[in-house]
Amino acid sequence: MKHYKRKVLVLMSIIVIVILAIYFSENNLKISYKYFNPFIENEQVSVEKQYVIPGGQTIGVELKTKGILVVGLADVVNDNKITTSPAKEAGMHIGDKIMSVDNKPFSTTQDFVSYINKEGIREYNIEVERNGNRIQLLITPIKRYSTNDIIFGFWARDNIAGIGTITYIDPETYEFSAVAHGITDSDTGELIDIDSGSISKANITNIKSGKKGEPGEIIGFILKDNNKLGTVRQNTPFGITGVINEKSLSYFSNNLVEIGRRDTIQVGPAKILSCLDDEIKEYNIEIVKTYYQSRPTDKSFVIKIVDEELLSLTNGIIQGMSGCPIIQNDKLVGAVTHVFMNDPTKGYGIYIEWLLDESHQKKSNL
C-alpha cells in the first residue's frame, strides 16, 4: 500500500510539472520553478527562464560626451610667425576632458569658443579630467597668423553619432542593449564617457560591402525629425544601454524570445536578425568556435556568415551590424560584435549573459 501511494505521488508530481511547463511555455512568461524528487529528501534544483524582445532594428545613436573631449593637439603659427602649441606646452593630453574654464562649466565647444572670443587673449584656468583625476592647466592662447583667430592648439568635440543595431529589450522595464561593444572615439580610441544620449530611427541610403582589409558599412542618416526611440544612459565596454520610450514600443516586435545561456551554445547553424532595408530578416550563419569564459569579454565565440542573400548585400559583417541578435535553437544566445579584417564573412559574437550582467550591474550601481 505504501509503495502504491508513493507511485501515485510521483505520477501526480510529474503531471503537475508537465502542465505548468506547457502553460508557461505557451504564454511566453518569465518563470521560476523547481523540480522535486519525492524519493530524496530536501533535493531541489532551481531553473529560471528569462524572455526578452529580440532586436535587429538599425538605429541612429547620438551621444553627448561628458565635458569637451580633446581629440588632437596641433601646432599653429602665431602673429609673430612662430610655430607653437599653447595647449601642448601647458601639458594638455589627447583624451583629456575639459570640465570647466575659469571655474565656469562648459559642455559644448560652441559655448567654449564664444567665451574665449568674448574674453580675448589672456591666461585661462582650464580644468580637465584625466584618468579620473582633475587637473588644472594654465593656458594662454595665441592669435593665428593668417586669420587672427584665437587658438589654443587643440582639437575637440562634444558629441558623436553613428549607426548601430538593437540587441534586445526587457519587456518589463523597457531597458535595451545595443551595439554590443563599447563606442570609442575615432581619434583617441578610448571609450567615450557620456553625459547623455539618445537613439532614433535611421534611414539606410546605401550598403558598402566589406572586403579583405577594409570593413564595409551601413550608410544612412538619423531621422532627427522623428520622436526619439529612447534614452541612452550608459556607454559600456559591451555596448550602450538605456530605456525605450513607452510610446515607441510599437516600433519593436511583440514577440518574446528565451535567453540561451552560454553553456547551451553549440558549434553549428544559427541565425542573426538584421534590418538592411525596410524589414528585419533572419540570415543563416554558422557558429564555428566557442570560448570558455569565466569573465566578460566582447569576443566570446566566432561566427561565419553563410546566407547567400546577406553575402550578396554585404559580403559579410559590416559596420552598423554590431549588436545584431544571434539566435540558436529559438534562443537568444548572443550578439554580433566585430568583423575579421582578413575575412569579412567571419567575426565575433558576445555571450548574451555578458550583456545582461552589464545591464544589471549598471542598474544596481545607480
Q: Report the catalytic residues.
A: 181, 307, 322
Alpha-carbon distance of 218 to 58, in angstroms, equals: 9
CA 262-266-271 angle, 5° bins: 95
Residue 45, all three cell numbers: 534544483
Instruction: Identify the DSSP state of 223.
Output: -
Residue 85: helix, strand or coil by DSSP? coil
Residue 247, all three cell numbers: 510610446
300 neighbors 354 (Cβ within 8 angstroms): yes
Alpha-carbon distance of 93 to 70, in angstroms, equals: 7
Alpha-carbon distance of 264 to 290, in angstroms, equals: 11
Least Cα distance to 303 among 316, 291, 285 occurs for 285
Alpha-carbon distance of 174 to 151, in angstroms, equals: 46
Q: What is the distance of C-alpha 77 from the center of its chain?
A: 41
Side-chain-side CA neighbours of 309 within 13 Å: the count stands at 10
Residue 257, all three cell numbers: 524570445
Residue 366, all three cell numbers: 545607480
Alpha-carbon distance of 153 to 92, in angstroms, equals: 10
